[in-house]
Amino acid sequence: MGNARFCVQCGKELVMREHEGRQYPSCADAACGFIFWDNPLPVVAALIEHEGAVVLARNAAWPEKVFGLITGFLEKGEGPDDAVVREVREELGLHAQIQGLIGVYPFREKNQVIIAYHLTAGGAITMSPEIVEVRHVPAHRLKPWSFGTGFAVRDWLERRG
């Protein structure tokens, strides 16, 4: 239930109730019927090949040695393929082209579903304030991590052989 304490429809208190075998925050007023399903959010991830290597970025909110793929949320009315190209443009200043879908991965720790794409891009990187550092890692030196976008890196590397 997080910080939510009140129904977004009628303002009454939220209480835990069972629905279809699971507990969900629900409006205390049964006549209202609001259920907070807390569905996972879709997130796009970009594995970008640029200047002969894969771009890994460090978000300003992350610890000093933590790098990952460019990621972002879909905006209203936007498809995942448009979102991933937009995120690369916004965060790195690159115009990228999608080469293919890598896969779709649950990220339960963040209540997200990651839709990962392989992209290629050219030009000079211009980092947004959200990104504080980038690294170019040759594919043969890239090592997947065991959470979040690391599974997409693993699958992409396996397909490359």
Q: In the predicted model, is pLDDT for residue 123 greater than 60?
A: yes
Q: What is the CATH number of the domain that holds 9?
A: 2.20.70
Same domain, 70 and 87: yes
Q: In the predicted model, is pLDDT for residue 1 greater than 80?
A: no
Same domain, 86 and 108: yes
Same domain, 11 and 80: no
Q: In the predicted model, is pLDDT for residue 65 greater than 60?
A: yes
Alpha carbon distance 79, 19 (integer Å): 30
Instruction: Look at the chain and report how many structural domains it folds into.
Output: 2
Same domain, 73 and 124: yes
Same domain, 34 and 84: no
Same domain, 110 and 152: yes
- CA distances (Å), origin 126, targets 5, 13, 88, 115: 42, 47, 10, 24
The structure's pTM equals 0.87
Among 50, 42, 27, 25, residue whose Cα is nearest residue 110: 42
Q: Is the CB of residue 94 less than 8 Å from the CB of residue 125?
A: yes
Q: In the predicted model, is pLDDT for residue 27 greater than 90?
A: yes
Same domain, 31 and 110: no
Domain that holds residue 91: 41-160
